[in-house]
Amino acid sequence: MFEDNSPKTSLSELGEFGLIDHLTRFVEIYQPSTLKGIGDDAAVINHKDEATVVTTDMLVEGVHFDLAYMPLKHLGYKAVMVNLSDVYAMNAEATQITVSIAASNRFPVEALEELYAGITLAAKTYKIDVIGGDTTSSTSGLVISITALGKVNPEKITSRDGAKPNDLLVVTGDLGAAYMGLQVLEREKQVFKVNPNAQPDLEPYSYLVERQLKPEARKDIPGLLAALEVQPTSMIDISDGLSSEVIHLCKSSKVGANIFEEKIPLDPAVISVCEEFNIDSTTIALNGGEDYELLFTVDQKDFDKIKANPNLTVVGHITEEREGMHLVTRGNQKIPIKAQGWNSFDDANEED
């Protein structure tokens, strides 16, 4: 996965317009609300009586991704997921994206084609339309910025500021796998540096690596909540780890929270790889990033509607603001929850 011997066409051979045409030749329209897509001065969408949500995320080479172990197709797919996850976190349905790319001439056309293959695969899988973008050069490195649009019945919009004391805190899926996938890939990269002929055996870590390289946004959750007749009181997507998102949610809502360590959903693969790396799995779930699951709050009266659903785990509850934010450990200790970006992750074990 670290080597590339495929044919190369320089970007200058196609020119800007040729490149745009080439990259977008497989773009299809799935959404009736897309009135005009690529090819005019602007795209046109019509969400009729529904509200439109808009969100943007930018990924910068060397800051958000490392092409040594991130295949470009996966990068394209992931760049779309990062944005769709924000749309779903508003309880909305994602409908369109725009894609802006800056690439240096170090990238041949084939590389950008790979990137675009991931973007169009994501669009097809999630039935969203690529309706425009921008393509330009950069002096070094690759930058990809995606804007996603979505629609939602205004009454169903779920923001970060609606959590109330006694609401339940709910997490979708499981946590920590994407971060541990990154740890595994970084370890393999070091091995490869020492011995370029080493073939990484990632098979035992396939779930973790998949969660890191090919995350899926929770498109199903707004529909699931609607089917369960549950209107969350607040919602946020888990891009930086549970701690950081709980803090965002509590600060916006002016509330506190208790999270119970024993309730945090972990895949068995996370537990075993944490043992192998000698790291505490709770720390990983709290501070590891990029799971793209959703964190939301519901009124206690909705507990019966969600309790049996395998996609949803109640991990705690909301308290008064003055009570603060705490992790209640298995040993029944209360530890304050602190923000820990996953770059400063090395400090995260101090509280153990």
Give the annotated binding-site residues: 41, 55-57, 64, 86, 116, 133-134, 160, 237, 239-240, 290, 342
164, 255 contact by CB (below 8 A): yes
Determine the Cα–Cα distance for residues 305 and 229; give it in Å rounded to an integer. 8
State in angstroms the smallest separation of the CB of 297 from ligand ADP: 37
Which partner from the list Mg ion, ligand ADP, none does 350 bind, CB cut-off 5 to 8 Å by kind?
none
Binding flag, residue 134, Mg ion (CB under 5 A):
yes
Binding flag, residue 21, Mg ion (CB under 5 A):
no
Tokens representing 242?
A: 């549970």
Binding flag, residue 13, Mg ion (CB under 5 A):
no
Residues at the interface with ligand ADP (CB under 6 A) = 20, 23-24, 38-41, 99, 101, 130, 132-135
Closest residue to bound ligand ADP by CB:
132
Determine the Cα–Cα distance for residues 139 and 119; give it in Å rounded to an integer. 23
155: which DSSP letter?
G
129: which DSSP letter?
E
- Residue whose CB is less far from ligand ADP, 56 or 333: 56
How do 325-328 and 334-336 pair as beta strands? antiparallel
State in angstroms the smallest separation of the CB of 135 from Mg ion: 7
Size of the site for Mg ion (CB under 5 A): 1
Residue ranges of the binding site for substrate: 64, 290, 342
Burial class (CB within 10 angstroms; exposed 0-12, middle 13-18, buried 19+) of 143? middle
Q: What is the largest CA-CA distance in the chain?
A: 65
State in angstroms the smallest separation of the CB of 163 from ligand ADP: 37
Tokens representing 139?
A: 């002096």
R_g of the chain computed on alpha carbons: 21
- Residue whose CB is less far from Mg ion, 134 or 262: 134
Which partner from the list Mg ion, ligand ADP, none does 99 bind, CB cut-off 5 to 8 Å by kind?
ligand ADP
Determine the Cα–Cα distance for residues 160 and 108; give it in Å rounded to an integer. 42
- Residue whose CB is less far from ligand ADP, 92 or 103: 103
- Residue whose CB is less far from Mg ion, 42 or 194: 42
The number of C-alpha atoms within 13 Å of 204 and in the hemisphere containing its C-beta is 7
Choices 14-22, 41-49, 131-139, 160-168; region in contact with Mg ion by CB under 5 A: 131-139
Query: Which residue reads 């943007």 in tokens?
Result: 56
Tokens representing 135?
A: 């393509």
Which partner from the list Mg ion, ligand ADP, none does 20 bind, CB cut-off 5 to 8 Å by kind?
ligand ADP
Which partner from the list ligand ADP, Mg ion, none does 175 bind, CB cut-off 5 to 8 Å by kind?
none
- Residue whose CB is less far from ligand ADP, 130 or 274: 130
DSSP character string of 270-283: HHHHHHHHT--HHH
State in angstroms the smallest separation of the CB of 93 from ligand ADP: 21
Which partner from the list ligand ADP, Mg ion, none does 133 bind, CB cut-off 5 to 8 Å by kind?
ligand ADP
Closest CA to 129 of 59, 72, 44, 56: 44
Binding flag, residue 276, Mg ion (CB under 5 A):
no
Determine the Cα–Cα distance for residues 345 and 331; give it in Å rounded to an integer. 24
- Residue whose CB is less far from ligand ADP, 44 or 227: 44
Residues at the site binding Mg ion, with contacts judged by CB under 5 A: 134
